Amino acid sequence: METSVTTTGTIATIATLAAHEGETVTLRGWLYNLRASGKLLFPIFRDGTGTIQGIVPKAAVSEELFETLKNLTLESSVKVTGKVRADSRAPSGFELDVQGLEVVQRVADETPFPISLKEHGVDFLMEHRHLWVRTPRQSAILRVRATIMRAAAEYFDNNGFTRTDPPILTPNACEGTSELFEMDYFGDDKAYLTQSGQLYIEATALALGKVYSFGPTFRAEKSKTRRHLTEFWMVEPEMAFAELEDILQLAENYLSYIVAEVLKKHQADLKVIGRDVSKLETIKAPFPRISYDEAHAMLADAFAKGLIENEHKDGDDFGSPDETYISNQFDRPVMVHRYPAAFKAFYMQPDPQDPTKALCVDVLAPEGYGEIIGGSQRVDSYDLLKSRIEEHGLPLDAFQWYLDLRKYGSVPHGGFGMGIERVVAWICGLDHVRETIPFARTLNRIYP
């Protein structure tokens, strides 16, 4: 405590000032901005729950308070006391008639807060991420992310799913890919960071019926795009006695719930972020469904009309511009199902109507945000799964336990994975996933 100029009043937070209108409260936070206009000071305070403008007429306060505040450095920590006054022009709906101030720590004049209100380069901001998170836009994104994280678990908790946490350290790759972080595990063994908990929660689904996992996953991918992180959070439901139709219904209800929760709780934050909420208000189940073949036909038609640059080859996966074109035809996420089995994962159940297709779905977000959910029904036959593992050149012994699940009470089952950061990027309307997580890990950055 460096300077104290009478601090009294109920401790309150900016988000809950509606309950204190007309009262004298004490807010604990930081000086976010300060404007002086003759004999009036207009400090803006932040406390993590929001920001509020204070009004300080020189005549209404002691000289000491006026001078202390007038010379206060940005991001200094304070306890500020004042009367809460409703003001319809204020973003929070309230202003504070400041009566007292305690400076907890004054930022030194020689080392001002490094992030000013002017523009900074991305590298500078990422290098100062521990401070950048304090700025209103970044704080708003993190609050929205927290609600997405909560809703992502809550939907399953409220619908009969049991959370089962798969291991992060795994003895081998889930899908046999090569982009794995590898480390020594006490000498002889190698361990790898998980890319998906799916295989493990197939085991717990056969124990508990409906389950989900929710944790970090990793990809040692040397790509530097606005959609890639090396460390990202994934939520994955898995259901016993479920077929593709159940998975589609779950996906559309799930995403609708998450968007509704954000809209319910974060109108102010979405405004700070600059998100067009009308684009989110349409996100309600049911979602459009098209097969891979229909999507291909849509692209062929668009190419014929000169609406897209590159021709999509039947049987190939969709590229990012293909996905953007497809998703732009709809005002809500589109569920593309039954892709060619050839380029999909070994564990996907073939479509009985056309075994060259997999019973799978990619959910493409609107506005070009790409795939946010990927799911499938899983192969439930022991013999088929065994031959798939062999065809893909995967080591049978490492997958023996996974094959066991088809030997002891196999059932139709399936689920999906949803990447949290892509969902945050889409819901907040962000250009780059690096702003979707407190401390992004990318090809070139593991600091701070």
Query: Per-residue x/- marks for a copy of itself, 393-432, CB under 8 A?
Result: --------xx-xxxxxxxxx--------------------
Query: Per-residue x/- marks for Mg ion, 356-395, CB under 5 A?
Result: ------x--------x------------------------
Write the DSSP string, 39-101.
Answer: TEEEEEEE-SS-EEEEEEEGGGS-HHHHHHHHTPPTT-EEEEEEEEEE-TTSTTSEEEEEEEE
Q: Is 244 left (phi over 0), alpha (psi -120 to 50) or beta?
A: alpha
215 counts as binding a copy of itself under rule CB under 8 A: yes
Instruction: Give the DSSP letter of residue 378.
Output: B
77 counts as binding a copy of itself under rule CB under 8 A: yes
Burial of 46 (0-12, 13-18, 19+ CB in 10 A): buried
196 counts as binding a copy of itself under rule CB under 8 A: no
Angle at 320 between CA 317 and CA 324, to 5 degrees: 110
Site for a copy of itself, residues 228 to 247, rule: CB under 8 A: 230-231, 233, 240-241
Q: Which is nearer to a copy of itself, 13 or 62 (CB)?
A: 13
Q: Cβ neighbours of residue 140 under 8 Å, at least 6 residues apart?
A: 266, 268, 269, 270, 272, 273
Helix (H) or strand (E) segment spanning residue 358:
strand 354-358
Q: Which is nearer to a copy of itself, 127 or 331 (CB)?
A: 127
Site size with a copy of itself, rule: CB under 8 A:
93
Cβ proximity of 77 and 105 under 8 Å:
yes
Select the span of 26-34, 53-61, 319-327, 335-343 touching a copy of itself (CB under 8 A): 26-34
Query: Per-residue x/- marks for Mg ion, 307-346, CB under 5 A?
Result: ----------------------------------------
Q: Which is nearer to a copy of itself, 124 or 241 (CB)?
A: 241
369 counts as binding a copy of itself under rule CB under 8 A: no
149 counts as binding a copy of itself under rule CB under 8 A: yes
For Mg ion, the binding residues (CB under 5 A) are: 362, 371
